[in-house]
A and B are shown apart, each in its own frame.
Chain A
């Protein structure tokens, strides 16, 4: 029999429900796996072993009493450290929140617990989710489990790395411009960014509120569907969450792709892409064609404006959202005795925020400031309309779009830290999806010549996660990529 940490999330939950394995055993196995892999990976910022074992014991008691404890019965799950957990520190990867202990659970945390999950720890990320490599974390360093000299991707790098290292059965991340999909691709796991409004952000630290969305990272498509089902749906505490009912999808992945129409955006197959990536993605499209989908070329003509549009809108929103980190109610405070409140704000933020966060606050403040608002922020909002319309037109004749996640595989630690713009370009194929508010997904689709993972991107119509999961399941079922794991 394989080790407990190798079970799928679904198998693990089923065995707990059938009392073939206890939640405490699963949790102990996960804690042992964390201890074994963390020296190489560094995915976790906090491991809450005592709390997890207590929660697992409570699940076991309820199972023994004959209760239905939920679809995630006793399964150890970990969360990006931007998602609040009552009583367990939540840093957002920032020194300004290094000792912050939330007094409440985010809605997604509470929903996972209600479904029976055991929260086993908190995962590293770029500070306030701002980055594409997790190198902007002020709290820890995460390495790609496939190659320790490479980044795991970001900003949910710890989430992707932990799932790839099998040091949790599944994880949640957030995706503002690709932050679930990019690390999922770089680490060969499945990542789903749901439609804007599908999952509550209550208790999730805000970066750019018109773009942020929470979603699962998992070992396979069916596990991702189970996690998605657990967190999706309206939440009165997040007024941007959609009131439209969320249908459970985990049981309906088997439809196949016969008769589905898939569009390949011309602008996403461009010069300068790593040849192995282009080859793998085109081969994945052929696999879907062989399985019965029809594939046609579509155009997203405003793609070249997406990076500028995104980085103006996201930073403008961030400059406002991050005003709350002022040293008054929580987090770090830096103030000399007798200093004014203004000096306290400026000194606290200078000491507590990292270089990239300061850069984005500055860019956003500038884009919103008198004299520049129309030229930058308003202009970006207009182009956002054009980008969203491109997708509406392209998806009018298709069921979903297929594309690469990123132009290259995982780059080396330190390779892109000198030039912020080079780092921003890692998001070139993912950010438009956030600007348009659509669901997007990353599915492993092969490896490059150095053995580094490649991701296939699926993009769907609003609230049509069902089609994405169905296409992803059909693709995954026709290939063997998920049988491969990193050597740890």
Chain B
């Protein structure tokens, strides 16, 4: 087994995904099957090979530090799943 059901549960918690028992079972089988097929990477010798870096050109272009986006307006707040006035409403975070 490349991955166990217990590990799947831990990874789901890290990924903030609630899984139904049937999903958990299916994902364990799928990920096991996929990781098993990907095991061929582990036998390839990559000693001394540098990991690929971002492909963007070396010089990151800079721009002036000015606000280009409009300030939050009704079009932004209209997408809020829950709002109160001009605020996003969320569950209580601090007890």
Contacts and interface: CB of A to CB of B under 8 A. Distances in A.
B31 to A, nearest CB: 6
Contact of B18 (A87, A103, A234, A346): A346
Interface residues of A, number: 75
Interface in B64-95: 68-70, 73, 75-76, 78-82, 88, 90-93
B78 to A, nearest CB: 7
A305 B44 contact: yes
A304 B40 contact: yes
Given A234-B61, A308-B40, A358 B27 contact: yes
Given A104-B69, A242-B56, A365-B14, A382 B46 contact: yes
A363 B31 contact: yes
Contacts of A239: 56, 60-61
B95 to A, nearest CB: 9
A326 B15 CA distance: 11
Contacts of B75: 86-87, 101, 103
Nearest to A100: B79
Contacts of B23: 355, 358
A242 to B, nearest CB: 5
Given A311-B34, A312-B38, A385 B51 contact: yes
B59 interface: yes
B41 A385 contact: no
A240 interface: yes
B16 A242 contact: no
Contacts of B68: 237
B1 interface: no
B55 A362 contact: no
B6 interface: no
A342 B16 contact: yes
A127 to B, nearest CB: 14
A386 B14 contact: no
Given A421-B34, A421-B37, A362 B12 contact: yes
Contacts of B30: 359, 420
Interface residues of B, number: 54
A347 B40 contact: no
A103 B41 contact: no
A344 B80 CA distance: 14
Nearest to A195: B55
A345 B9 CA distance: 16
Interface in A322-339: 323, 326-333, 335, 338-339
Contacts of A321: none
B91 A330 contact: no
A219 interface: no
Contact of B41 (A196, A308, A335, A366): A308
Contacts of B44: 302, 305, 383
Nearest to A240: B56
Contact of B79 (A311, A331, A341, A365): A331
A196 B18 CA distance: 35
Contacts of B12: 362
Nearest to A342: B16
A309 B41 contact: yes
A346 B23 CA distance: 14
Contacts of B91: 335, 338-341, 343-344
B61 A243 contact: yes
B47 to A, nearest CB: 9
Given A240-B54, A240-B56, A366 B3 contact: yes
Interface in A243-259: 243-244
B19 to A, nearest CB: 7
11 contacts: A239-B60, A239-B61, A305-B41, A326-B16, A331-B79, A335-B91, A341-B92, A363-B31, A369-B14, A379-B41, A386-B49
Per CB-CB distance, the 4 closest pairs between chain A and chain B, nearest first, are A333-B81, A381-B51, A103-B75, A330-B79
Interface of B: 3, 7-8, 11-12, 14-20, 23, 27, 30-31, 33-35, 37-38, 40-42, 44, 46, 49-52, 54-57, 59-61, 63, 68-70, 73, 75-76, 78-82, 88, 90-93
Given A362-B12, A366-B7, A379-B46, 12 more contacts: A196-B55, A240-B54, A240-B55, A305-B40, A329-B79, A330-B79, A333-B82, A349-B15, A362-B8, A362-B27, A383-B49, A386-B46
